[in-house]
Amino acid sequence: MASINLIEAFQDFKEAENIDRPTMMKVVEDVFKTLLRKKYGSDENFDVIVNAEKGDLEIVRHRMIVEDGNVNDPLAEVPYSEAIKIEPDFEVGEELYQEIEILDFGRRAILAAKQTLASRIGDLKKNVLVKKYSDRIGEIINAEVYQVWKKEILLLDEEGNELILPKSEQIPQDYFKKGESIRAVVKKVDLKNNSPVIILSRTSPAFLAKLLEIEVPEIFDGLIVIKKIVREPGERAKVAVESYDDRIDPVGACVGMKGSRIHGIVRELKNENIDVINWTNNIQLLIQRSLTPSKITSMDIDSEKLQANVYLKPDQVSLAIGRKGVNIKLAQELTGYSIDVFRDNEGEVEEFDIDLDEFSDEIETWVIDEFKRVGCDTARSVLNLTPEELERRTDLERETIDEVRKILKEEFDNDK
């Protein structure tokens, strides 16, 4: 056996399409030169020839033909009498090229070579995978759900590489089934037991930033810059943008005509409310914009302590705070200031209330609209009326009213 088919002999070889051919050939050459050194003591007079396309390997030994009895270096020279046994036309001074039978190394040596080669190729594949995804950190990729577990989801990319989407990196409303295609951003590449683990995320601000880049050409072209993104995944996000072209309204460009650009992103993020605001270095104006959708009456700012006292009309307080305090929490993250909310007429903290729209994930929109029709647009305004009064004033059934009141009451009970 003068050659060995690498593709058949080494299963990992044919799975290594991502490894460039020169690197692969160098690995194969190194493995067999190690075998030669163990058997002959040196690999200097041997050529390892790899046909990367066919997966063939040949080892050729070359020695100079010398007169019998004049052999000084058995590895580099061969006596004339031995050379003519191979080819009668050989003469002294010529070079003898002789193919080495792979089986001459012995079964144990060949098995060791197979294992070494498989290990080296495995390491190369890991390095290629690490480099590929390290270069793609912050990019959105599409992957297919392969396995769903309690704490994470196993995904496969287009090349069959395994990716991980931990539960902590999933939007709370996310629900995926095997075979489903999902989008996520590459968050980081870890090493576990010397194997690369590619971690994806759907909760990272970078995911929202990339979605905006896809939907808004002005961001992709660099005319609009995203200055900062803060998120409460699945609940609310605030995006501060700035335009480098005075003719472009950054907020309008991001939202699109009748919300055409932002709607697709909202759906992708499981109805996460997205507030897009104009970035400014004027901290007072930035705080005012960050507390959208509420309207501020006035504020006091302590720049040294990074503290802001914000005063609003009573009906705006619940909007500023938001459900579970999400709106004010994100405003603080966006501005870097600690924000306290007060009623503008008394300087006292407003009794906590929540706008009904904040419950749109638990209460159907048409039900909320029916409550608004009779003047109940906050949670407390509903709870302050008896079920009988609500049944009389609205077109809702008692069972629906009781269920809504239960949801609203639980929200206040949880905040105590």
Distance, CA of 211 to CA of 183 (rounded, Å):
10
Domain ranges of the chain: 3-132, 138-202, 206-279, 356-414
Span of 22-31, 117-126, 315-324, 341-350 with lowest mean pLDDT: 341-350
Q: What is the pLDDT averaged over residues 346-356?
A: 62
pLDDT at 363 over 90: no
pLDDT at 334 over 80: yes
Quick check: 164 pLDDT over 90?
yes
3-132: CATH superfamily:
NusA, N-terminal domain (3.30.1480.10)
pLDDT at 21: 64
* CATH code linked to domain 138-202: 2.40.50.140
* 90-145 confidence digits (pLDDT tens): 777 788 787 777 776 777 777 777 777 777 777 777 887 888 888 899 999 999 99
Q: What is the pLDDT of residue 73?
A: 78
Over the stretch 300-309, which tens digit does the pLDDT of each residue have?
Answer: 888 888 999 9
Q: What is the arithmetic mean of pLDDT over 190-206?
A: 89
pLDDT in tens, 203-241: 999 999 999 999 999 999 999 999 999 999 999 999 999
Q: Is the pLDDT of residue 147 over 80?
A: yes
Q: For position 346, what pLDDT does the model report?
A: 52
Q: What is the pTM of this model?
A: 0.64
Model confidence at 2: pLDDT above 50: no
What pLDDT, on a 0 to 100 scale, did the predictor assign at position 210?
95
Pairing of strands 307-312, 273-278: unpaired
CATH code for the domain defined by 206-279: 3.30.300.20
Q: Which two tokens mark 152? A: 């994470």
Q: Quick one: average pLDDT of 7-29? A: 58
Which pLDDT score is estimated for 18? 57
pLDDT of 47 higher than 80: no
- Whether the pLDDT of residue 9 is over 70: the answer is no
Tokens representing 19?
């490894």
Higher model confidence: residue 400 or residue 17? Answer: 400
Max avg pLDDT among 12-21, 344-353, 394-403: 394-403
| Residue 179 in this model has a pLDDT that exceeds 80 | yes
Are 371 and 382 spatial neighbours (Cβ–Cβ below 8 Å)? yes
How high does pLDDT run on average in the chain? Answer: 83
